[in-house]
Amino acid sequence: MTVSGGETVLFWVLAPLMVLAASGLLVVRRAVHAAVCVVFVMISLAVLYVAQEAPFLGVVQVVVYTGAVMMLFLFVLMLVGVDAADSLTETIRGQRWVGLLLGLGLASVLGGVIARSTFPPPRGLAETGGVTNPVALARVVMEHYVVAMEVVGILLVTAAVAGLVLTHRRRLGAKPTQRALAEAKIAALPTGRHLSPLPAPGVYAQNNAMDTPALDHTGRPLEHSVPRVLRIRGQQREAAELLTAEETLVHRELDVPDDPVPSVGPDSSEGETR
């Protein structure tokens, strides 16, 4: 069996990229970027499996690893908080260098084992009885590894139940009913609670983004019309600057001289700008 030239090119294109992505796991700060690096490595591995006469494993790699496992990772990242950047401060002094040294030592030991051992001449999987790769795999599994297959099935069921049990949260109080919620709302009225739905963000002539507050009937901006997340992050825009920008626009369009309308403020121009 000889390795084709195409496969050689594929290997030398993919292998450096894979090593680069895998070392990205060591240096990137955000966990999401690390997840993207791992996804790249896994997809490249699937390509290498297909090139190595294992098309079934290549497909399984894409379906199981990139499809299920990495998506699960991303879901957990969203639960835990995407913004959670890893702290790079060392708690154990010199841990970084010791860890790098150990990794380098592991690589050199394993590489030395491979370099010093003699392998038989590669035979390839061309003569597997004239059946396709999945059929050949199925024959081996069903002839020699039936018990292992069953045990693995039990393991998967156990893992699924364990995942359910571990992430299950018991309800501590009674579930709030609709009546209780309504009564709580009414009871909170004196503290400034609104019964009606919150007002939508403002729509201006040139701007109708979520971060611009709406104006009430007197022309004052309504703070709570901007979504709470934007307010907490401080990404809310001031109504005043928008209104002045719109006013200049109105003046230019209508060609109104500035003098006859001296009292155009945010309040009085509300009708024409909104």
Partner 1 sequence: MELTNYLYLSVVLFALGATTVLLRRNTIVVFMGIELMLNATNLALVTFARMHGDVTGQVLAFFVMVVAAAEVVVGLAIIVTIFRARRSASVDDVNLLKS
Could you tell me how far CA 30 lies from the centroid of its own chain? 11
User: For partner 1, which residue of 13, 17, 95, 203 counts as binding (CB under 8 A)?
Assistant: 95
Q: Which two tokens stand for residue 136?
A: 């050949």
Question: By CB under 8 A, which span of 102-110, 192-200, 225-233, 253-261 interacts with partner 1?
Answer: 102-110
- Shortest Å, Cβ 52 to partner 1: 5
CA distances (Å), 61 to each of 50, 68, 78, 80, 170, in order? Answer: 10, 10, 23, 26, 36
User: For partner 1, which residue of 83, 94, 116, 127 counts as binding (CB under 8 A)?
Assistant: 127
236 is a site residue for partner 1 (CB under 8 A)? no
Residue 219 identity (one-letter amino acid): G
Nearer to partner 1, 149 or 203 (CB): 149
Expressed in percent and rounded to 5, the helix, strand and coil fractions of the chain are 60, 0, 35
188 is a site residue for partner 1 (CB under 8 A)? no
Is there a contact between 22 and 40 (Cβ–Cβ < 8 Å)? no
Is there a contact between 221 and 214 (Cβ–Cβ < 8 Å)? yes
User: For partner 1, which residue of 13, 17, 124, 150 counts as binding (CB under 8 A)?
Assistant: 124
Question: By CB under 8 A, which span of 161-169, 186-194, 199-207, 219-227 interacts with partner 1?
Answer: 161-169
Binding mask 49-68 for partner 1 (x = CB under 8 A): x--xxx-xx--xx--xx--x
Is there a contact between 201 and 214 (Cβ–Cβ < 8 Å)? yes
